Amino acid sequence: MGWLGLDDTDSLKEGCTTYTFHLLLESLPPSVTVVSPRLVRLWPFAQHRTRGNAAVGVELIVDDEQELLKHLDTYWNQHILPIKGNISPSEHDDRTQYPADPGMVWFSSHQPDESFYTQAVQSEVKLEQVPQADHSWGGQGRIGATAAIAWRQQRITWEAIAWRQPNRHGQKTRQVCDHTLTLVDSMPSTFLSRDPRRGTGLIAPRGPCPVLFGLRARDEESAFEAGKQLLAAELTESAVGWRVFVTNQATDDHLSQSIQATVADVDILSRGNCVITTESGKWLAFAESGSVKKLAHWLRPGDIIEGNGLSPEFGVLHLEKLRLISAHPNQKRPICENCSTRMKSMGKEQGCRCPKCKQRTNDAWTTTPRIPPFPSWVQPPMDSRRHLARPIEWEDV
Ligand SMILES: [Zn+2]
């Protein structure tokens, strides 16, 4: 028995690490038993990240380890090494493109230390920090490959991934039966498969990659059942293969504890992006973050808030979750009882006086509560969330 990990094989030609991995698993000698394959999403700001920043791994039950290693060597040289140097297409054109630098690792009989997974999902990791494998191939990809098999699955979800026929790779459109998708979306355990706001499917990527669909579920049986139904549908194009992966998606593994802070300033920028200044740094609510942005815009100095998100740089938090703890009330000078004019302060702790009739009062302020747009936690809409983000409605703690 041992653990095999793979990462960074995205490219124009081969397109997707999950597909490369599927083909690799299909090629294994018949004496090797594949125990549930895993897909992990890693630190979203990693410099060398691939498109979805996903790495894959699997536990293998092996009788003849030498035979397996020989096979992996040959397979690596023939099918994976040629991917090296290809540039993967990105949906985000604003960052430097790194050529694919595939990596594969084999840990015989033990998994790498769990702390390496935590490190790789919550921060930038360098190649020198990767624990020593029993056998390893390639470069940068060894980071994700090792993190994938270091993961101990504290929290899990599942994803059924199907790949298109090779002659369809490179094309941007996909045929997945929308009626069946509506049915599987209504299964209690499936999630993020359809956007109810827009009435559109969320399971099919838009780019040229080999993936036909990725259908998520909270339990393995539902992932299998939903994947099977989608593939059996007449209006779904034929797939070259499919597998159910156990994943760290929707686990919040990328987040640390949430932070409470007091709002010092709220700055709404063009396009609706919003910067909340607090004593714990600047918290950013992006224009596409829906309710998070809406709540951020509503905030005023003095409000106490709690937030969670990632810090790509020190002192900056990209909000993924936000809630109001308490709102600083509206404060105005009192209205004069005689002539309904707004009174004016006479100086610190001197009370107020009516500018018209000179009536005095000791009350410096009248306060009215502000009603927040949301009573509790908010997060961005489905299509703007990270793969790792756990839906707040699951907070069954
Ligand atoms: Zn008055």
Residue 118 belongs to a domain: yes
What is the mean predicted confidence (pLDDT) over 252-266?
96
Q: Residues 303, 383: one domain? A: yes
In a domain, 364, yes or no: no
Distance 313 CA to ligand 1 centre (A): 54
Residue 365 placed within a domain = no
Averaged pLDDT for residues 213-237: 96
Maximum separation of any 2 CA atoms in the chain, in Å: 99
Q: What residue spans of the chain are helical by DSSP H?
A: 17-27, 65-75, 114-122, 141-150, 178-185, 220-232, 291-298
Q: 289 and 180: one domain? A: no
Quote the ligand 1 centre to 369 CA distance (angstroms). Answer: 25
Exposure on the CB side of residue 167, measured as CA atoms within 13 A: 2
Q: What is the pLDDT of residues 309-361, one digit of tens each?
A: 999 999 999 999 999 999 999 989 999 999 999 999 998 888 899 999 999 99
Q: Render the burial of 71-94: b for 16+ CB within 10 Å, e for the rest.
A: bbeebbeebbeebbebebeeeeee
Q: Are residues 240 and 144 in the same domain?
A: yes
Query: What is the CA(353)–ligand 1 centre distance, in A?
Result: 8
Chosen domain end from 247, 279, 298: 247
Q: Which domain holds residue 300?
A: 259-329+370-394
Inside any domain, residue 348: no
Same domain for 304 and 239: no
Check whether residue 322 and residue 195 sit in a common domain: no
> Has residue 341 been placed in a domain?
no
Token representation of residue 39: 């897909």
The model's confidence at residue 51, banded by pLDDT at 50, 70 and 90, is low
Place 53 in a pLDDT band, splitting at 50, 70 and 90. confident
Concatenated DSSP letters of 108-164: ESSPPPHHHHHHHHHS---GGGSPPPSEEEESTHHHHHHHHHH---SS-EEEEEEEE
This prediction's pTM: 0.88
Task: Specify the number of domains making up the chain.
Answer: 2
Cα-to-centroid distance, 341 and ligand 1 (Å): 6
Q: How far is the CA of 335 from the centre of ligand 1 (A)?
A: 8
Are residues 267 and 221 located together in one domain of the fold? no
Residues with CB under 5 A from ligand 1 (ion): 336, 338-339, 354, 356-357, 359
Q: Is 97 exposed, middle or buried (0-12, 13-18, 19+ CB in 10 A)?
A: exposed
Residues 243 and 263 in one domain: no
Distance 332 CA to ligand 1 centre (A): 16
The answer on pLDDT for 188 being more than 90 is yes
Do 240 and 283 belong together in one domain? no
| Residue 70 belongs to domain with CATH number | 3.30.70.2200
Residue with more model confidence, 276 or 366: 276
| 113 and 72 both lie in a single domain | yes
Evaluate if residue 295 carries a pLDDT over 70.
Answer: yes
201 Cα–ligand 1 center, Å: 63
* pLDDT tens digits, 23-49: 999 999 999 999 989 999 999 888 776
What does the mean pLDDT of the chain come to? 91
Domain at 296, CATH number: 2.40.50.1010
Residues 301 and 241 in one domain: no
Compute the distance from residue 366 Cα to the ligand 1 centre, in Å: 16
Question: Within this chain, do residues 95 and 128 fall inside the same structural domain, yes or no?
Answer: yes
176 plus 214 within the same structural domain? yes
